[in-house]
Amino acid sequence: MNGVLKDGAEKTFRGTIDFIRGASDATGDEREDVLLLGENVVNKTVPLILCQEEDVEGSHGATIGDLSEETLYYFRSRGIPDEEAYQLMAAGRLTAAARQIPEESIRKELLVRLGEDDGDE
> Closest by alpha carbon to 53, among 29, 17, 22?
22
pLDDT averaged over the chain?
89
- C-beta neighbour count of 114 within 10 angstroms: 15
Whether residue 58 is found in the same domain as residue 104 = no
pLDDT given for residue 62 in this prediction: 87
Reported confidence tier of residue 97, pLDDT bands at 50, 70, 90: confident
From 65, 92, 113, give the residue that closes a domain. Answer: 65
Whether residue 87 is found in the same domain as residue 119 = yes
Whether residue 41 is found in the same domain as residue 81 = no
Whether residue 61 is found in the same domain as residue 6 = yes
Reported confidence tier of residue 93, pLDDT bands at 50, 70, 90: confident
Whether residue 16 is found in the same domain as residue 52 = yes
Model pLDDT for residues 34-71, shown as the tens digit of each residue: 999 888 999 999 989 999 989 999 998 888 888 999 99
Whether residue 90 is found in the same domain as residue 46 = no
Q: Is 21 helix (H, G, I), strand (E, B) or coil?
A: coil
CB within 8 A of 26, min separation 6: which ones? 19, 53, 56, 57
Element (H, E) at 90: helix 82-98
Whether residue 32 is found in the same domain as residue 89 = no
CB-based contact 69:37 (threshold 8 Å)? no
% of residues, the chain, pLDDT over 90: 55
Domain that holds residue 58: 1-65
- C-beta neighbour count of 94 within 10 angstroms: 19
Whether residue 80 is found in the same domain as residue 116 = yes
Whether residue 80 is found in the same domain as residue 111 = yes
Least confident of 73-77, 84-88, 115-119: 115-119
Provide the number of structural domains found in the chain.
2
Reported confidence tier of residue 85, pLDDT bands at 50, 70, 90: very high
Question: Residue 44 and residue 42: Cα distance in Å, rounded?
Answer: 7
Question: Residue 86 and residue 110: Cα distance in Å, rounded?
Answer: 19
Rounded mean pLDDT, 83-87:
92
Reported confidence tier of residue 118, pLDDT bands at 50, 70, 90: low
Whether residue 47 is found in the same domain as residue 28 = yes
CB-based contact 57:94 (threshold 8 Å)? no
Backbone torsions φ then ψ of 104, nearest 5 degrees: -55, -45
